[in-house]
Amino acid sequence: MVRSHVLVCGGTGCTSSGSHQIIAALEQEIRKNGLEQEVKVIRTGCFGLCALGPIMVIYPEGSFYSMVKPEDIPEIVSEHLLKGRIVKRLLYSETVQEDRVKSLNETQFYKKQERVALANCGVIDPENIEEYIGYNGYSALGKVLTEMKPSEVIDVITESGLRGRGGGGFPTGRKWAFAAANDADQKYVCCNADEGDPGAFMDRSILEGDPHVVIEAMTIAGYAIGASQGYVYIRAEYPIAVSRLQIAIDQAREYGLLGKDIFGSGFDFDLEIRLGAGAFVCGEETALMTSIEGHRGEPRPRPPFPAVKGLFGKPTILNNVETWANIPQIILKGADWFKSMGTEKSKGTKVFALGGKINNTGLVEVPMGTTLREIVEEIGGGIPGGKKFKAAQTGGPSGGCIPESLADTPIDYDNLLAIGSMMGSGGLIVMDEDTCMVDIAKFFLEFTVDESCGKCTPCRVGTKRMYEMLSKICKGNATLEDIDKLEDLCYEIKAGSLCALGQSAPNPVLSTLKYFRDEYIAHVVEKRCPAGVCKDLLTFEILPDKCKGCTLCARNCPTGAISGTAKQPHVIDKTKCIKCGACMEKCHFHAIVKK
Residues 442 and 461 in one domain: yes
Determine, yes or no, domain membership for 492: yes
Residues 167 and 232 in one domain: yes
Residues 221 and 271 in one domain: yes
Residues 11 and 70 in one domain: yes
Residues 365 and 329 in one domain: no
Number of domains in the chain: 5
Q: What pLDDT score does 594 carry?
A: 86
Q: Vertex 419, ends 453 and 340: CA angle to 5°?
A: 100
| CATH code of residue 368 | 3.10.20.600
Task: Name the domain boundary from 432, 457, 490.
Answer: 432
Q: What pLDDT score does 100 carry?
A: 81
List C-alpha distances in Å: 303 to 181, 265, 314, 326, 540. Answer: 16, 35, 14, 28, 56
Count CB atoms within 10 A of the CB of residue 147. Answer: 8
Residues 151 and 258 in one domain: yes
DSSP-derived letter for residue 251 is H
Task: Name the domain boundary from 490, 525, 560.
Answer: 525
Alpha-carbon gap, residue 411 to 139, rounded angstroms: 32
Determine, yes or no, domain membership for 118: no
Residues 157 and 251 in one domain: yes
Determine, yes or no, domain membership for 181: yes
Task: Name the domain boundary from 470, 491, 525.
Answer: 525
Q: Which residues contact 176 (CB under 8 A, 6 or more apart)?
A: 154, 157, 158, 221, 224, 225, 317
Residues 273 and 330 in one domain: yes
Half-sphere exposure of residue 285: CA atoms within 13 angstroms, side-chain side: 25
Residues 151 and 247 in one domain: yes
Q: What pLDDT score does 425 carry?
A: 80
Residues of the chain with pLDDT under 50: none
Q: Vertex 456, ends 512 and 423: CA angle to 5°?
A: 40
Residues 309 and 372 in one domain: no
Determine, yes or no, domain membership for 112: no
Domain that holds residue 362: 349-432
List C-alpha distances in Å: 149 to 153, 190, 390, 502. Answer: 7, 21, 51, 40
3-state helix, strand, coil in the chain (%, to 5): 45, 15, 40
Determine, yes or no, domain membership for 530: no
Residues 146 and 294 in one domain: yes
Residues 223 and 325 in one domain: yes
Q: Kindly report the average pLDDT of the chain as a whole number.
A: 94
